[in-house]
Chain A
Amino acid sequence: MKSLFIPAYYIFLKDSRSELRTRYALNALFMFVVTALSIILFSIGSEAVSSDVLSGILWVVIFFSSMSGLSRTFVSEEERGTVATLQLLTRPTPVYVGKLTFNFFLTLSLNVVISLLYLLLINNFVIQSPAIFWTTIVLGSAAIASASTIIAAIIAKANTKGTLYPVLSFPIMLPLLMTVMNATRLAAEGAFFAEALGEFQILISYTVVITTASIVLFEYVWKD
């Protein structure tokens, strides 16, 4: 246990420090979100759009912003040629756990920012049960991070990194996206917390299944 979590913690620390120093992903992602939201605002104009459509659009923004930022963790290691160093220093599993933790916090903070901006800017989007909404955001971030981390590890070895990432992620993430969209719709409609429990169970089991499979498979992806 010690040999897993301590190296994983240092990998997480290294990634967060390098991110906070360069702010490469954060700046790019923030601008991406602003651009996407303003396009949505322009296209909506003064029309009254139903909350069904709006909760769908929210997750479209979240999906594509994750797709533009989350592959960074592995692609940057390949670009800087630091893969061999990490391979020498530690076993594959701590690398995966560290990267997954970093991606989770990145996704979570991004999704919170997106949701706050979305709630502020789009007047028709009213959340009647905030408990469901914010639980969905947290569990959805965990699920997105778990699926996108292993795909990022695969994609880092491919030639066309940028274009292939959403292509590979979409079929994997579709059950998750359907679930979070449904949960967001429930939150907008003001359902009771108990009504969304089924959605939360799906999200948690999805995260657990993908993470477990990733831990087993990451070894093959990471070793050359």
Chain B
Amino acid sequence: MMSKYLIGKAIVALWLTLIIIAGFAMPMVVSPQQWFELPVIPALEEKARIIFFHVPMAWTTLVAFFASMIYGMLYLKTKNMDYDLRSVSAAGLGTMFCVLATITGSIWAKFNWGSFWNWDPRETSIFVLLLIYGAYFALRSALDVEEKRATLSAVYSIIAGVTAPFFIFVMPRIMTGLHPGAQGDEGGSMPVAQLHMPANMRVVFFASLIGFTLLYFWMFSLKVRSARLEIKSQQL
């Protein structure tokens, strides 16, 4: 039991350490020759390294959001309080990753676009996600009865989940994007992951996506286990 978690933890730690080293240390040169050399992307230069950390954070936020929604659905179906516990844990982690993605993105925007906040479509979407998480926890704190809190917050997260895809259609009609990979950029309207990335950059990027997802699952299991123990200790 103990060793299973320990091995998992060690693997995630090692994996992310390698990614942090690769993300920061792989040199950027004008014409890459070696396998470890990254090309210089015009207008982004060294600032392009954020893609190895910022994008996986935003990705993890989405993973957590969907996990929270699916556990909410399972709660409604089974009325098992453990699913509610998992739903809140996922939402809590999602909020953390959402704040991290917003802050890192904002700092990057300051150096690349000149201001911390520009209401670019992606900035707007992450802002809405923050609002949804905020509303979710505000709703939970306004409900006293456990079952009611679990049911209503699950319903709210599902309603929020079904409206979120509308932003994909609404955003491009309202504003033009500055974000790399947004419409108007050379890469077209593709998500950032499909931007003209050379093979070695892509390997680090996808490894980082996997690493952050694993980190999320590790933190999630930690959070759920500690929440279960807390409930047990209250019952004693």
Across the interface, do A210 and B163 meet the contact criterion of CB distance under 8 Å? Answer: yes
- Residues on B with C-beta less than 8 A from A199 are 173
Complex CA–CA separation, A139 to B142 (angstroms)? 32
CB–CB B170/A202 < 8 A? yes
Q: Which residues does chain B contribute within 8 Å of A172, judged by CB atoms? A: 159-160, 163
Contact A220 B162 (CB under 8 A): no
Interface: A84 (CB within 8 A): no
Count of residues in B whose CB is under 8 Å from the partner chain: 29
Which residues between 165 and 194 of chain A lie within 8 Å of chain B, taking CB atoms? 167-168, 170-172, 174-176, 178-179, 182
Known: A175-B166, A175-B170, A206-B166. A164 touches B159 (CB 8 A): no
Complex Cα gap A159–B159 (Å):
20
- Indicate if the CB atoms of B169 and A202 lie closer than 8 Å: yes
Count the A residues whose beta carbon is within 8 Å of the partner chain — how many?
Answer: 33
Stretch of B3-11, B19-27, B30-38, B149-157 that contacts chain A: B149-157
Q: Is the CB of B135 within 8 A of A168?
A: yes
The residues of B that contact A157 with a CB separation of less than 8 Å are 143, 148, 152
Q: Are A182's CB and B174's CB within 8 A?
A: yes
Instruction: Decide: B152 and A154 in contact? CB cutoff 8 A.
Output: yes
Residue numbers in B under 8 Å from A174 (CB-CB): 128, 131, 167
Is B40 located at the chain interface by the 8 A CB criterion? no
Q: How far apart sit A87 and B52, CA to CA, in the bound complex (Å)?
A: 54
Contact in complex: B155, A220 (CB < 8 Å): yes
Tell yes or no: A113 within 8 A of B by CB: no
> Chain A, 185-224, contact with B by CB distance < 8 Å: what is the 0/1 string?
0000000000000110010011001100110010011001
Partner of B143, one of A150, A158, A202, A205: A158
Chosen A-B contacts, 6 in total, with CB atoms closer than 8 Å, are A160-B142, A176-B166, A178-B174, A206-B163, A210-B162, A217-B155
List residues of chain A with CB under 8 Å of any chain B CB.
Answer: 147, 150-151, 154, 157-160, 164, 167-168, 170-172, 174-176, 178-179, 182, 198-199, 202, 205-206, 209-210, 213-214, 217, 220-221, 224
